């Protein structure tokens, strides 16, 4: 198993990326609102008053979304990356996002499809 993580730079694409991941076989995605270092530093810049004004009119989208999902294999991660790039373009371009997968040594509470969900 792997932990698939994406930091999506522009939250406008969130629903489309989630749909693409679902189609690629990813399920059970957890989404956090997050902010990177550069955006925090920009907020504290001398012209931060103007940045706040522009954020007001842009719908308040100032941060990123960080997506987490436990997946079975790297093939699923590769499908998710390809699907993501169909939505937002190449991840090698600036201001798109990053995706990475980490191996999971052990997990608890993760359903593997054999158990019945309670509740």
Burial group, residue 29, by CB count within 10 angstroms (0-12, 13-18, 19+): middle
Here the tokens at position 28 are 């059970």
- Its domain, for residue 62, covers 2-103
- Residue 65 falls inside a structural domain: yes
- Residue 15 falls inside a structural domain: yes
pLDDT at 18 over 70: yes
- Residue 108 falls inside a structural domain: no
- Residue 109 falls inside a structural domain: no
Q: Give the chain's domain count.
A: 1
User: For 32-89, what is each residue's pLDDT tens digit?
Assistant: 998 877 766 776 666 555 555 444 444 455 678 999 999 999 999 999 999 999 999 9
Q: Which DSSP letter does residue 9 get?
A: S
CATH number at residue 68: 3.30.70.120
pLDDT at 113 over 50: yes
- Residue 89 falls inside a structural domain: yes
According to the model, what pLDDT value does residue 35 have?
81
According to the model, what pLDDT value does residue 54 have?
44
- Residue 42 falls inside a structural domain: yes
- Residue 82 falls inside a structural domain: yes
Here the tokens at position 76 are 């699923």
- Residue 59 falls inside a structural domain: yes
Helices in 1-119 by DSSP H: which ranges? 14-23, 37-43, 48-57, 74-88
């Amino acid at each position: 198993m792997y932990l698939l993580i994406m930091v999506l730079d522009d939250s406008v694409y969130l629903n489309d990326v989630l749909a693409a991941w679902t189609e690629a076989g990813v399920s059970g995605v957890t989404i956090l609102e997050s902010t990177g270092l550069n955006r925090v530093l920009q907020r504290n810049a001398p012209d931060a008053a103007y940045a706040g004004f522009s954020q007001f009119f842009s719908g308040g989208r100032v941060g990123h979304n960080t997506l987490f999902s436990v997946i079975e294999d790297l093939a699923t991660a590769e499908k998710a990356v390809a699907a993501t790039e169909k939505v937002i373009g190449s991840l090698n371009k600036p201001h798109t996002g990053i995706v990475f997968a980490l191996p999971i040594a052990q997990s608890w509470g993760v359903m593997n499809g054999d158990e019945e969900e309670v509740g």
